[in-house]
Structure 1
Amino acid sequence: MTAMSQARSIVEIEGKFTSAPMKGATTILQGAIVVTENSLAMPGKTAVGLTVLGIAEETAVNSGADAAKKVNTRRGTFKFFNLAADAIVAGDVGKDCYLVDDQTVAKTSGTNTRSVAGKIINVESDGVFVKVG
């Protein structure tokens, strides 16, 4: 492309919401951490190579083939459960945390078995606020 020679219309998207094709035979519950694996959305889980999209805006059920349905996700900072066996503490604020399942995060990668969930924003006695997506 060449540089602009005249004004152009500005096209903007907030980038807070997205929609992604779901893996077949999958249910993603409202509020669950949503990840992609092989370009298909599914609930968060312990695995490497996953990309966190955000949380599910509503429960989505794909009882058909891969990509037969989409799930709507939202980026932001949300509270998740803190894995007691690998607990995140106040000193971890600002660091990455790692996926355990669709509602739980941990301090470490579990010896390279977990994907990054997002950035730790705050730690409370009943959970961890994590910026995801």
Structure 2
Amino acid sequence: MTALIAGRNTPAKAGDVQVGLVAAAVNIFAGAMLVRNASGHILPAVTGTDLIGVGRAEVAVDNSDGAAGDATATFKNGRFRYANSAGADEITIADIGQPCFAVDDQTVAKTDDTAARSAAGIVEDVDDLGVWVIFNEALTRAAL
């Protein structure tokens, strides 16, 4: 392509709502923390490897009897609060700006548990109710 010589109507994706194909045999609850697997499918966050946090499920999706790609999930990236892990994996304000790791679809931890957990997102804040996590795939991948 050559450089522009006039204005261009460049397509854009407005907002923070996204849609992705769901992994096989999963049930997603509204509000769940979601991850993308190595093949690009969306599933509820679990302790596992080769996953990356993508955001919060906007609606429930039951693909428990389906194959990968049989259903779609609507999710938002952005900032959401999830439960904090405990003990040595509890996230504190000293961890703000650092990656956090998925324990399950509603809990994040400070460490990857010796490479057993995948990154959920970036810690934005910590309060008495949990951890505020920034979900942005590119930002999370860059932070790793």
Length-normalised TM-score, structure 2: 0.86
Amino acid at match of 1:9: N
Tell whether 2:48 aligns with 1:47: yes
| Partner in structure 2 of residue 59 of structure 1 | 60
| Partner in structure 1 of residue 13 of structure 2 | 13
Query: 1:100 is paired with a residue of what secondary structure?
Result: strand
What is the identity percentage for the equivalent residue pairs of Structure 1 and Structure 2? Answer: 35
Runs of 5+ in structure 1 lacking a partner?
A: none
Cα distance in 1 between the residues matched to 2:40 and 2:124 = 27
Query: Larger helix proportion, structure 1 or 2?
Result: 2
Amino acid at match of 1:90: I
Cα distance in 2 between the residues matched to 1:48 and 1:24 = 17
Q: 1:15: how far off?
A: 4.8
Greater displacement, 3-12 / 79-88: 3-12
Query: 2:104 is paired with a residue of what secondary structure?
Result: coil
Q: 1:91: how far off?
A: 1.1
Match runs of 1:1-133 below 5 Å? 1-37=1-37, 38-62=39-63, 63-85=65-87, 86-133=89-136
Deviations 1:28-57 (A, max 9, x none): 000111111122111001112112121100
Deviations 1:62-86 (A, max 9, x none): 1322111100010111110111131
Runs of 5+ in structure 2 lacking a partner?
A: 137-144
Q: 1:25: how far off?
A: 2.0
